[in-house]
Amino acid sequence: MSKTPLETLKHHEQLAELGGGADRIQKHHQSGKLTARERIDLLVDPGSFVEMDKFVTHRCTDFGMDQQKFLGDGVVTGYGTINGRKICLYSQDFTVFGGSLSGAHASKICKVMDLALKTGVPVIGLSDSGGARIQEGVESLGGYAEIFWRNVQASGVIPQISLILGPCAGGAVYSPAITDFIAMVENTSYMFVTGPDVIKTVTHEEVTKEDLGGAETHAEKSGVCQIVYADERAMFEGVRRLMDFLPLNNLDQAPVVKCTDPADRLCANIDKILPDVSIKPYDIRGVIEDVIDQGDFLEIHKSYAQNIVVGFARMNGKTVGIVGNQPAHLAGCLDIAASVKAARFVRYCDAFNIPIITFVDVPGFLPGTKQEYGGIIKHGAKLLYAYAEATVPKLTVITRKAYGGAYDVMASKHIRADVNLAYPDAEIAVMGPDGAINILYRKEVLAAEKAGKLDSVRAALVADYKEKFANPYKAAELGYIDEVIEPKMTRTRLIQALSLLEGKRETAPKRKHGNIPL
Ligand code: HXC
């Protein structure tokens, strides 16, 4: 007996939902991974997901492919909500041809990306794919390029988040690479342009998949991945939290949450955290957590370039981006990795109307041939450029050192920070006392050394220099610092300034685009 139209629909739906079939799903689960649909269920609000293109199939007839068709063709696409806010997504299904990308599979992703861009909602891509569908050749490569092109069009317009949940190899890595955030799962996800076998053939290096492109590698060494989660469930919970900090698009404001932390609360811990001796390290996170709402800090890129800390927080219920030099790591100096990490974060905040608060404690740029040969000049310039072009409210607190070029770069008044504060112990100068004295008083130092009075002469010169330059008052005298504040007042002052700056309007000169040093 033939099926009724309703029965046919149900049958089609069941087939689509079975992906590559029960056996492949079992194998997939055994490898420690959730299916494409299980992942969606954990990511979006229950019952909110609306699937599109459920019955799309590939068009390939070569290699017996016409005999192997799966409804949906290895990717589930659609839209739903996260904590009540709209998102579009796609989730690759590894049980169908290893989640590989065919022309039809790519068209589904492109359709949902177009919809996200048209409607101004974020797009979240869940990647678990063997890459280009080998049987489809150039049609698959074209499909990738269509996705890349859309990633670029959407950049700075809607948040794009890539969740890597399995393999992501070859040119396929370039879609996540263009998006705003890449998150990976420990042990089951990996990304590389060329895999271990090709590397062995070409360079004779032996490396495992995990060492080459696992979550730890990309979070700590390459900086490709911004957030690592212990498992898939933790990832979906984490991404839901991240989404709560972000606006839906570049014309939207980030969600405002009810704040129970008083706006005029005094910061009780900063005085205890800042060491008496200016060369002693401390953890800038303690300062940040004392200032922000309920100490709730979502750190991004935690394991990479640990000499700078970046992440999202709220002040009086509103999202802010935080950048802070980290004296507990490499004395908080700026190097290539820290400059690139912070520059990318500053540009993200600026693109999506998120005010930036910068905590400065920086002894300067890291010296050395490794840095110079690596291009610290152009990479350091990225951070300078990012801060200078940002038109969102920019607030700066100098907690201790602000030396040399790094003073200028770290959201100084001169590159148009709106409000610049400093603590009474702040040291703002061209360089630290020891370096300065070696240059300014070379003859006196040499003479003192000969006379066996080096320590006492040096101590007097250092004290004199510190009194003259290593304090915030010269900068305050010139108006480069708006106010020298007691550390306990930090939260109050920043919230007052943020409130004023809500009305900030600044327009950059008209141009096609700037030429950031890449
Ligand atoms: C078609 C593929 C496929 C692919 C996997 N499959 N990759 N089908 N095209 N690229 C199929 C397998 O035939 C198998 O089908 C199923 O997916 C699961 O694959 P397995 O090999 O059994 O799984 P596993 O052992 O877990 O290994 C996963 C893998 C491996 C590491 C991803 O399959 C693999 O190396 N695949 C090829 C990867 C690759 O070289 N891709 C091209 C990269 S270049 P059955 O029917 O048995 O279930 C590229 C260029 C992009 O992507 C350029 C963009 C510009």
The candidate with the shortest Cα–Cα distance to 246, out of 309, 327, 326, 179, is 179
Please report which helix (H) or strand (E) contains residue 110, including its range: helix 103-119
pLDDT of residue 449: 87
pLDDT of residue 1: 75
Give the binding-site residues of ligand 1, using a 6 Å CB cut-off: 24, 97-98, 100, 130-134, 141, 144, 167, 169-172
- Residues 295 and 313: their CA atoms lie apart, in Å, by 8
Residue nearest to atom 6 of ligand 1 (CA): 98
- State residue 303 phi and psi, 5-degree precision: -90, -5
pLDDT of residue 433: 85
Cα 436 to ligand 1 centre (Å) = 60
Residue to probe by mutation, ligand 1, list 60, 62, 100, most atoms within 8 Å of CB: 100
Atom of ligand 1 nearest to the CA of 129: 32
**How many CB atoms sit inside 10 A of residue 397's CB?**
26
Residue to probe by mutation, ligand 1, list 26, 97, 165, most atoms within 8 Å of CB: 97
**How many CB atoms sit inside 10 A of residue 73's CB?**
27
Cα 130 to ligand 1 centre (Å) = 4
In which residue ranges of the chain is pLDDT below 50? none
By annotation, the residues acting in catalysis are 170-171, 405-406
Residue nearest to atom 38 of ligand 1 (CA): 130
**Residues 183/189, Cβ–Cβ less than 8 Å:** no
**Residues 465/433, Cβ–Cβ less than 8 Å:** yes
List, in order, residues 6 or more apart from 298 with CB less than 8 Å away.
Answer: 241, 242, 245, 311, 312, 313
Q: Is 320 exposed, middle or buried (0-12, 13-18, 19+ CB in 10 A)?
A: buried
Cα 117 to ligand 1 centre (Å) = 30
pLDDT of residue 171: 82
pTM: 0.95
pLDDT of residue 435: 84
Residue nearest to atom 37 of ligand 1 (CA): 130
β-strand pairing of 318-325 with 308-315? antiparallel
